Amino acid sequence: MADPWLTTLITRTPQEGFELAITLSRRGVKYTQPDTDVLKSLRQEYANSADALTAASQVVAINFQTVAAANDYWRNGRSSGSTTGRS
């Protein structure tokens, strides 16, 4: 494992949680393919693929579910079981 950057899944808001989910997703790709030249060479291919973009969105959504659960869906002072932040 490279540099230990993830110290907590706890965030103050759903927005911060979503941004963390994106970071988790991007880091997962970087760990899976650590060669930046290969990553850059593949970018054009997946950037123009509806299937690849849908799959990437799904990975972000799964990571957001993980972060939301770790934050008890921002229930403390925010909402009761809703990830929208509304009561």
The answer to whether position 16 is within a domain reads no
Say if 29 falls within a structural domain. Answer: no
Domain count, the chain: 1
Per-residue pLDDT of the chain (87 residues; tens, 9 = 90+): 567 788 889 999 999 999 999 999 999 999 999 999 999 999 999 999 999 999 999 999 999 999 999 998 776 655 444 444 443
State how far Cα 40 lies from the chain centre.
20
* CA gap 55, 49 in Å, rounded: 10
Candidates 86, 78, 64; CA nearest to 12 is 78
pLDDT, position 86: 40
| C-alpha to C-alpha distance for 35 and 62, rounded to whole angstroms | 25
pTM (2 d.p.): 0.77
Runs of H (alpha helix) within the chain: 14-32, 36-47, 50-70
Domain hosting residue 84, numbered range: 34-87
Say if 27 falls within a structural domain.
no
In a domain, 12, yes or no: no
Domain assignment present for residue 19? The answer is: no
In a domain, 74, yes or no: yes
26 found inside a domain: no
